[in-house]
């Protein structure tokens, strides 16, 4: 389970020299400092920070309620939509390859297409074609790219 960076820094630099390896102290500090992950979902984490690392941290500490398959599917879809909206391909890749690697994802192509995020559409087409729908998303992306002249799709 990942640990907060602050807990690592405190145990590495603030404990007396010669105290040796104290993993139980690190875990206790981490639990004390972590006042948010129990109440946050990956959607909240991404909306507030836009950080893939923080999303991974919160996902690793998901509560039992979050394990409901329908709720987890909703979390995947909403977070994927936000990452597509921001053009954040690394977060979208992690969500679809690691978080829930087999579930279908709604609206991601439409959002990426509307905003002209061709790299996201290309990755979805190349790697996740069976999990998303390519309706009019490509048309919106091509139209936006044609207007701005900022990309070529192969």
Report if residue 62 sits inside a domain: yes
Q: 77: helix, coil or strand?
A: helix
- Local confidence pLDDT in tens for the 154 residues of the chain: 565 555 566 666 666 666 666 666 666 665 655 556 667 899 998 999 999 988 998 898 787 766 889 999 999 999 999 999 999 999 999 999 999 999 999 999 999 988 889 899 999 999 998 999 887 656 656 666 666 655 544 4
DSSP-derived letter for residue 154 is -
Report how far residue 14's alpha carbon sits from residue 27's, in angstroms, rounded to the nearest whole number: 15
Do 62 and 127 lie in one domain? The reply is yes
Q: Is residue 154 part of a domain?
A: no
Q: Are the CB atoms for 96 and 130 separated by under 8 Å? A: no
On whether both 3 and 48 belong to a single domain, the answer is: no
Q: In the chain, how many domains are there? A: 2
Nearest partner of 56 among 90, 6, 29, 19, judged by Cα: 90
Q: How far apart are CA 140 and CA 138, in angstroms?
A: 5
Domain that holds residue 14: 1-35
Does this model's pTM top 0.85? My answer is no
Pair 1, 43 in one domain: no
Do residue 91 and residue 125 come from a single domain?
Answer: yes
């Amino acid at each position: 389970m990942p640990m907060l960076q602050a807990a690592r820094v405190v145990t590495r630099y603030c404990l007396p020299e010669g105290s040796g390896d104290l993993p139980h102290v690190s875990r206790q500090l981490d639990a004390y400092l972590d006042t948010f992950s129990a109440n946050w979902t990956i959607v909240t984490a991404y909306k507030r920070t836009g950080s893939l690392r923080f999303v991974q941290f919160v996902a690793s500490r998901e509560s039992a309620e979050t394990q409901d398959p329908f709720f987890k599917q909703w979390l995947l879809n909403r977070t994927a939509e936000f990452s597509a909206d921001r053009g954040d391909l690394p977060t979208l890749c992690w969500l679809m390859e690691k978080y829930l690697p087999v579930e279908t994802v709604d609206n991601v192509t439409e959002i990426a297409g509307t905003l002209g995020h061709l790299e996201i559409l290309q990755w979805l087409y190349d790697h996740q074609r069976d999990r998303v729908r390519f309706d009019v998303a490509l048309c919106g992306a091509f139209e936006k790219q044609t207007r701005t002249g900022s990309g070529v799709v192969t």
